[in-house]
Structure 1
Amino acid sequence: MNFPYESELKALKRSGRYRERSIRNAGLIDAASNDYLGLAEHKELHMKACETLSHYSDHAPKASMLVNGYHPIHAAFEEALCKANGFEAGIVMGSGFNANIGLIEALVRKGDVLLMDEEYHASGIAGARMCEGEVVFFPHNDTKVLQRELEHFKGKRIVVAIEGIYSMGGDLVSREIIELAMAYESVLILDEAHSSGVIGEKLMGILDYYGIEPTPLMIKMGTLGKAYGSFGAYVLSSEHISHYLINRAKNVIYATAPSLYDTALAHHALEYIQTHTEALREAIRSRQKIVYDTLGIECAGLIVPIEIGDNREVMRLQEILKNEMGVHVGAIRQPTVKKAILRLIARVEISEALLRNVCERLMQIWVK
């Protein structure tokens, strides 16, 4: 049998869910990626990362962190992240996907309970399938159901997993969800992939946004491939939980340590965010206002989800914007979302005039 998955591929094509890779077209304006602040295009950050690497005899980690892959570049970035976010300890990791899997598989032991928002990222769901404890998905941002589950499992070790800004809906986790987890003394995983660098007085994410101080039971997972314009991830926590993860998380123990270049690049991106905070916040606010004024959509961050509902129609609309305006927006289909959406990212590198034009054209072609 030379084509063992032919029937599955045909079914995907029939339903409009078949996916293909295409090489990025540099001639298109990027309104699809998660490079929210445009830092992936800042050449000075690249040059600074190369300069940092030039001070060392090696430019690759060479081994896992627990062999001899833990480098001064890793340690310096972890220290800077802890200082910026108010946590005791940090661990840089290879990607947000493997950080979520490693975290959840390690933290949820036999006899424990994981309470996860139903719209948590696919990486967390994959981790949930690997863990030894009981897994319960609660309705998205539903405080009443979460409180009922917390009360039901009182007395056990409970892990609650939520996102700061949800990647497809673009909405914030409610403050009440965080406060419930704190009140019931649950271990709280905050996936800040789409909120770190985008919201908060210091642009540090959801805790910064709500003015909540980290507690010893909070774990912040952030990615470096979005607002930070690099690649990789980090986990911030108490010293106690950090020591546990170093001894239990398989992605820390068995994987080669993260890229030194990407870690150095992310460190310089953090410094850029810290020294340009107010200008970035103003750029974010102005783009949120344009989206609200033209589309009537209130954005928590820079994700603008436009529900289309049809897999083929969302691809057609994406092509219209490419061909007419030279703008690439995301066309997201099932199973990533329940109903197909155009996912416009109002990146700060997109001029305000162009963003307004794109939104106005969307209003013309979008049938609500």
Structure 2
Amino acid sequence: MYEKELAAIGRSGRFREPIMADPKTIDMASNDYLGLAHRKKLFERACKRVGKYPWHAPKASLFLGGYHPIHRDFETALREANGFEAGIVVGSGFLANLGLIEALVRRNDVLFVDESYHASGMVAAKLVQGKVVPFRHNDPEDLSEKLSRTPVGKRGRRLVAVEGVYSMEGDVVKREILELADESDAVTIVDEAHSGGTMGPRLLGVFDHYGIVPGPRHVKMGTLGKAYGSYGAYILASEEIVAFLHNRAKPLIYTTAPSLFDIALAQEGFEHIAKKRELLKRRIARRKAVVEEMTGRYPESMIVPFPVEDIPTLMRYRRRLAESGFDVGAIRPPTVERPMLRIILRTPVKPKAYRRLFRALGDL
């Protein structure tokens, strides 16, 4: 039924299949930045946390009795630590972006979105009632020009959507972009999937990194399946915006509430990061220093892209690195414009292993 389409994908070198991690290789591909997915004590504590209650699954949507003290407690911990008025737990980062953007961008509004924003946000942008204006990746000048020459409708709003750390490029959103959004009274949506837990004095992400005190127009979205070692997502915002999402965001209303165990596990990870913050920051800095030592460039984040000329070469490099004991992500178009190996700086991986990897890359 889809034979021709599958054949075309295969000819382009873009055919995907699920990949099972090989425990014999060193994981430099996953988003488990801090290694919390391997910490059995966090798993056991999460089991105990859920086991205190008479049921272990949410059973219904947030608005039909599925809201649970485990959800509430984690929302409270997140909003208090990050300085927001309110929070919501969500089933996944994809659902969070989908719900946020589809709900908040109304008929007379304009959404200004970085052209490298996550696919979930781009899907949502196709569903909105308002106007969508992409701007060049991490380019304050382009955003400024488009903000100045794009009118909003009567009683309309401006919204700006960016990522804290861009998942492919690994670069950090420029502060000037956040300042431009504030100056234009825009609602600023920051996807902190790859920055939460990995940057800032308290490892809370980009708001923390830049010392920005959240205001009523700031919205922070983050995922739990990366640095926090679990699965799911959250949204932090003002009480007004959270109340609006409760009443308009379809991925919140028309789905079962998030898994109790996943939220409990994320809270254990969140608390672990707070306790071990200084140690984790030293480990992160050490691995970034190795990248600088080996490449001459200090990475902004824990994502290091390595561009490759074409897809066949990319896949060959990935296989050769796997044979040498390194599991590295091979990212192909259309996810990225050019093929690349994506190296993740995970704190459980020793600095000497990254030195070996970069030497191996130099020999390819």
Q: Using structure 2 for the length normalisation, give the TM-score.
A: 0.98
How far apart are the structure 2 equivalents of 1:255 and 1:185?
Answer: 32
Cα offsets for 1:177-209 (capped at 9, x unmatched): 000000111000000000000000000000100
- Between 335-344 and 139-148, report the one with greater CA deviation: 139-148
Aligned partner letter, 2:248? R
SS in 1 for 2:258: coil
- In the alignment, which residue of structure 2 is the partner of 1:108? 105
Alignment of 1:126-165 (within 5 A): 126-154=123-151, 156-165=156-165
Is 2:228 aligned against 1:228? yes
Q: Tell me if structure 2 keeps the 8 A contact 1:295–1:363.
A: no
- In the alignment, which residue of structure 2 is the partner of 1:21? 18
SS in 2 for 1:115: strand
- Between 280-289 and 142-151, report the one with greater CA deviation: 142-151
Q: Tell me if structure 2 keeps the 8 A contact 1:112–1:157.
A: yes
Is 2:237 aligned against 1:237? yes
How far apart are the structure 2 equivalents of 1:262 and 1:66?
Answer: 19
- Stretches of structure 1 that go unaligned for 5 or more consecutive residues are none
How far apart are the structure 1 equivalents of 2:20 and 2:135?
Answer: 38
Shift of 1:298: 2.6
How far apart are the structure 2 equivalents of 1:301 and 1:354?
Answer: 18
- In the alignment, which residue of structure 1 is the partner of 2:344? 345
Q: Tell me if structure 2 keeps the 8 A contact 1:53–1:59.
A: yes
Q: Tell me if structure 2 keeps the 8 A contact 1:117–1:162.
A: yes
- In the alignment, which residue of structure 2 is the partner of 1:363? 362
SS in 2 for 1:130: coil
Alignment of 1:246-285 (within 5 A): 246-285=246-285
Aligned partner letter, 1:245? L
Shift of 1:296: 2.9
Shift of 1:154: 5.0
- In the alignment, which residue of structure 2 is the partner of 1:76? 73
Which aligned segments of 4 or more residues in structure 1 are displaced greater than 4 angstroms? none
How far apart are the structure 1 equivalents of 2:319 and 2:345?
Answer: 18
Alignment of 1:160-199 (within 5 A): 160-199=160-199
Cα offsets for 1:65-94 (capped at 9, x unmatched): 000000000000000001110101000000
How far apart are the structure 1 equivalents of 2:322 and 2:142?
Answer: 42
Shift of 1:297: 3.5
SS in 2 for 1:170: coil
Shift of 1:21: 1.4
Aligned partner letter, 2:361? L
How far apart are the structure 2 equivalents of 1:224 and 1:256?
Answer: 17
- Between 8-17 and 164-173, report the one with greater CA deviation: 8-17
Aligned partner letter, 2:317? L
Q: Using structure 1 for the length normalisation, give the TM-score.
A: 0.97
Q: CA RMSD in A?
A: 0.9
Q: Tell me if structure 2 keeps the 8 A contact 1:35–1:226.
A: yes
Aligned partner letter, 1:8? E
- Between 5-14 and 279-288, report the one with greater CA deviation: 5-14
SS in 1 for 2:126: helix
Q: Tell me if structure 2 keeps the 8 A contact 1:115–1:158.
A: yes
Shift of 1:24: 2.4
SS in 2 for 1:75: helix
How far apart are the structure 1 equivalents of 2:307 and 2:264?
Answer: 38
SS in 2 for 1:161: strand
Is 2:33 aligned against 1:36? yes
How far apart are the structure 1 equivalents of 2:284 and 2:20?
Answer: 28
Q: Tell me if structure 2 keeps the 8 A contact 1:37–1:347.
A: yes
Residue-pair matches, total: 361
- Between 27-36 and 193-202, report the one with greater CA deviation: 27-36
Percent identity between matched residues is: 51
Shift of 1:27: 1.9
SS in 1 for 2:132: strand
How far apart are the structure 1 equivalents of 2:182 and 2:147?
Answer: 11
Q: Tell me if structure 2 keeps the 8 A contact 1:88–1:236.
A: yes
How far apart are the structure 2 equivalents of 1:269 and 1:348?
Answer: 14
Aligned partner letter, 1:305? P
How far apart are the structure 2 equivalents of 1:22 and 1:165?
Answer: 24
Shift of 1:152: 2.2
Is 2:307 aligned against 1:307? yes
Shift of 1:7: 1.3
Alignment of 1:194-205 (within 5 A): 194-205=194-205
